[in-house]
Amino acid sequence: MVKDAVVREAVRARIDLPFALKLVRALHVRPDAEAPEDWPWPVRLYVLGSFSLPREGEPVEFPRKAQKRPLALLKALLAFGGQGVDGAALAHALWPDAEADDAQDSLTMAVHRLRKLLGDESAILVRDGKCSLNSEVIWTDVWTLERVLAAIDARPAEGAELEAHLRALQHLYRGHFLEYDAQGTWPAALSSTRPRRATASVPTAPRISTSMSRATIRPTASRRTGCCRGCTAPIPRWRRR
């Protein structure tokens, strides 16, 4: 609808942003693929560097040890790309020593608990044995970083457009995937599983350097990671389907 498109563009351009966000809520405007971080997302998920999971603008508290498995599922979902992830692969990564049926039952329970933790039953979609993060409910920094890199790769930028790309990269990239994760919920089994299934969707630091070169500017060192031209440290790349 025309009014929805106008509201989305107002949020993207930050035109009277507080009023635009009120319109989003009042008119129940659904986000599109390019909805920005400013959008009133039910859940924001930050995994580049430290792990953070604000819900409705407030940080989610994890007071109980029992929450570790749902969080491990959430991180594993992102490690496998976040969209259309095979349930059997997830179950094996999280419960590598369990029988297939037991691992699948554990996955079903973890999905239920993760939905409850996120406060939205539609946040995690399960269809035909595939699990996905709902992109209309969850915003995540890795998906946004991928869009910025794709835009830079598509054509050289200059002027205001170039400055916008660089600001976005500096804002989004705060470290490698879960590099400073303090929760300790990253499944160790995934370290051996991911190279076989997810390496194809992981960019390297030279990928960002190359993208920035195409944007006609030389990259500068990362404040937190030392990422610069020639660095070979992996930086996760997450593809949305």
Domain ranges of the chain: 1-40, 139-214
Tell me the pTM. Answer: 0.73
The mean pLDDT value for 198-218 works out to: 48
Q: How high is the pLDDT of residue 215?
A: 53
pLDDT, tens digit (0-9, with 9 covering 90-100), for 98-144: 999 999 999 999 999 999 988 899 999 999 999 999 999 999 999 99
Residue that wins the pLDDT comparison between 156 and 239: 156
The mean pLDDT value for 81-98 works out to: 92
Q: Which of 77, 4, 84 is nearest to 39 (CA)?
A: 4
Residue that wins the pLDDT comparison between 60 and 122: 122
Q: How high is the pLDDT of residue 175?
A: 82
> Mind giving me the DSSP string for 22-53?
HHHHHHTPPP-TT--TTS--SEEEB-BSS-B-
- C-alpha 51/C-alpha 183 separation (Å) is 8
pLDDT band at residue 14, thresholds of 50, 70 and 90? confident
Cα 69 → chain centroid: 19
Give the phi and the psi of residue 90 in degrees, each rounded to 5: -60, -50
Is it the case that residue 237 has pLDDT exceeding 60?
no
Is it the case that residue 195 has pLDDT exceeding 70?
no
Q: How high is the pLDDT of residue 231?
A: 37
Q: Which of 10-24, 38-52, 83-97, 192-206 is predicted with the least confidence, judged by mean pLDDT?
A: 192-206
Q: Which of 200, 234, 175 is nearest to 46 (CA)?
A: 175
Tokens in use for 9? 């563009």
- C-alpha 107/C-alpha 187 separation (Å) is 13
Which letter, b or e, does each residue of 134-159 get, where b requires 16 or more Cβ atoms within 10 Å of its Cβ? bbbbbbbbbbbbbebbebbeeeebee
Q: How high is the pLDDT of residue 141?
A: 92
45-59, 93-107, 219-233 — most confident range: 93-107
pLDDT, tens digit (0-9, with 9 covering 90-100), for 164-176: 878 888 888 888 8
Q: What percentage of the chain carries pLDDT values higher than 90?
A: 28
Residue that wins the pLDDT comparison between 64 and 81: 81
Q: How high is the pLDDT of residue 55?
A: 76
pLDDT, tens digit (0-9, with 9 covering 90-100), for 183-194: 655 555 555 444
